[in-house]
């Protein structure tokens, strides 16, 4: 009877194990997915909105390229451009780190990569855009708001003391002289040449005559494809396909986005709560307002 009892007991344990084993395995897969599943890490760099400062983006670029476990970079651009120096800085930083730590970079444009936004996109090895996305607007300009008439109309007195005939040029309280206007024109011409040169270098299949694809012209994604300003019209899924083809990646993709997550209240009030890559919400909000006023009413070169 004892032997029979042991058999029944063993059958019970086997039956119990068969019942709970799938639950245990599922739990292990859920909680230790990174261990049980082969994944390829792809870094994500996001460039959106008006480009006025590059500091946070530069930190993300450095982190992603210096991480040896990250095999490729997905550059998401959705920007109409902005200050020329910011656009060029991001563009050059991506190329700098690509040379140090070679990684394949694919850019996806959902809505717009115009002017400085397209400048940044050109740092990628492959550009994909939605068919109706705005692409191009390759050009540069300086805007000069002028408040002198408004101030005088309201009987506001002001005085500017300066040295040098070009000092103060671009001030909203001073009219530009013909010489100053010519000087600003030479600046925009030079930055425009830099833009055209870099696009032609990184998009070598565009038509030889830049008048066809530059001069501030804007194109749809399909038009840009015909001009070889981009490589493909599609969606992020097309980017994954290219990544797999170029890198022979296997398994699932793990997207790596630099930056430490914080709670809302912590991020709102604690300037030192996380790493210094992410500004607090209040800081970011105030900075956005100040940046808008600065860029809107000052004579920056803009792409």
Measured N-to-C along each axis, helices 55-66 and 84-100 cross at an angle, to the nearest 10 degrees, of: 10
Out of 167, 193, 257, 260, the active site residue is 167
Nearest alpha-carbon partner for 274 in 265, 285, 261? 261
The burial of 14, by beta-carbon neighbours within 10 Å (0-12 exposed, 13-18 middle, 19 or more buried), is given as exposed
- Give the span between the Cα atoms of 112 and 77, in whole angstroms: 7
Residue pLDDT, tens place only, 111-162: 999 999 999 999 999 999 999 999 999 999 988 777 777 777 777 777 777 7
pLDDT at position 79: 96
Based on the residue annotation, tell me whether 193 is a catalytic residue of this protein: no
Q: Are 121 and 113 in contact (CB under 8 A)?
A: yes
Residue pLDDT, tens place only, 174-185: 788 889 889 989
Nearest alpha-carbon partner for 254 in 29, 27, 34? 34
| 144: Cβ contacts below 8 Å, ≥ 6 apart | 170, 172, 176, 184, 299
| 49: Cβ contacts below 8 Å, ≥ 6 apart | 78, 79
38-140+183-302 has which fold? 2-enoyl-CoA Hydratase; Chain A, domain 1 (3.90.226)
- Is 303 or 61 the better-scoring residue by pLDDT? 61
Domain ranges of the chain: 38-140+183-302
| 300: Cβ contacts below 8 Å, ≥ 6 apart | 83, 84, 85, 142
CA within 13 Å, CB half, 208: 0
Helix (H, G, I), strand (E, B) or coil at 70: strand
Q: Are 129 and 111 in contact (CB under 8 A)?
A: no
Asked if residue 26 has pLDDT above 70, the reply is no
> Quick one: which H or E segment has residue 187?
helix 178-202
- The model's confidence at residue 303, banded by pLDDT at 50, 70 and 90, is confident
- The model's confidence at residue 30, banded by pLDDT at 50, 70 and 90, is low
Averaged pLDDT, 236-259: 84
Q: How far is CA 124 from CA 91, 118, 119, 231, in A?
A: 9, 10, 10, 11
pLDDT at position 124: 98
Asked if residue 59 has pLDDT above 60, the reply is yes
DSSP 280: -
Residue pLDDT, tens place only, 71-80: 999 999 999 9
- Give the span between the Cα atoms of 298 and 145, in whole angstroms: 8
Out of 60, 115, 137, 171, the active site residue is 115
Mean of pLDDT over the chain: 82
- Is 170 or 182 the better-scoring residue by pLDDT? 182
- Give the span between the Cα atoms of 162 and 173, in whole angstroms: 13
Count CB atoms within 10 A of the CB of residue 175.
Answer: 12
Q: Which range is least confidently modeled, 21-25, 65-69, 182-186, 209-213?
A: 21-25
Q: How far is CA 134 from CA 131, 195, 223, 291, in A?
A: 9, 18, 10, 24
Based on the residue annotation, tell me whether 287 is a catalytic residue of this protein: no
pTM to 2 decimals?
0.75
pLDDT at position 40: 86
- % of residues, the chain, pLDDT over 70: 75
pLDDT at position 267: 42
């Amino acid at each position: 009877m004892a032997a029979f009892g042991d058999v029944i007991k063993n059958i019970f344990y086997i039956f119990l194990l068969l019942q709970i084993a799938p639950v245990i395995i599922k739990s292990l897969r859920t909680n230790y997915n990174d261990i049980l599943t082969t994944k390829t890490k792809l870094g994500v760099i996001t460039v959106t909105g008006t480009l006025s400062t590059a500091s946070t983006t530069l930190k993300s670029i450095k982190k992603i390229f210096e991480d040896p476990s990250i095999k490729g970079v997905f550059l998401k651009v959705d920007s109409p451009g902005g200050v020329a120096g910011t656009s060029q800085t991001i563009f050059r930083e991506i190329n700098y780190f690509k040379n140090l730590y070679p990684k394949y970079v694919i850019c996806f444009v959902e809505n717009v990569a115009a002017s400085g936004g397209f400048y940044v996109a050109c740092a990628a090895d492959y550009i994909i855009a939605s068919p109706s996305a705005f692409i191009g607007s390759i050009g540069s300009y300086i805007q000069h708001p002028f408040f002198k008439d408004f101030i005088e109309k309201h009987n506001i007195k002001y005085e500017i003391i300066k040295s040098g005939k070009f000092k103060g040029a671009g001030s909203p309280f001073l009219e530009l002289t013909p010489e100053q206007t010519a000087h600003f024109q030479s600046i925009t011409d030079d930055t425009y040449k830099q833009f055209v040169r870099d696009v032609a270098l990184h998009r070598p299949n565009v038509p030889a005559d830049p008048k066809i694809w530059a001069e501030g012209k804007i194109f749809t994604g399909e038009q840009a494809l015909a001009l070889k300003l981009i490589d493909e019209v599609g969606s992020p899924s097309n980017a994954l396909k290219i990544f797999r083809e170029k890198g022979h990646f296997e398994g699932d993709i793990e997207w790596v986005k630099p930056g430490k997550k914080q709670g809302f209240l912590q991020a709102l009030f604690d300037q030192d709560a996380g790493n210094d890559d992410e500004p607090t919400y209040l800081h970011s909000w105030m900075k956005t307002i100040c940046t808008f006023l600065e860029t809107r009413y000052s004579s920056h070169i803009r792409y």
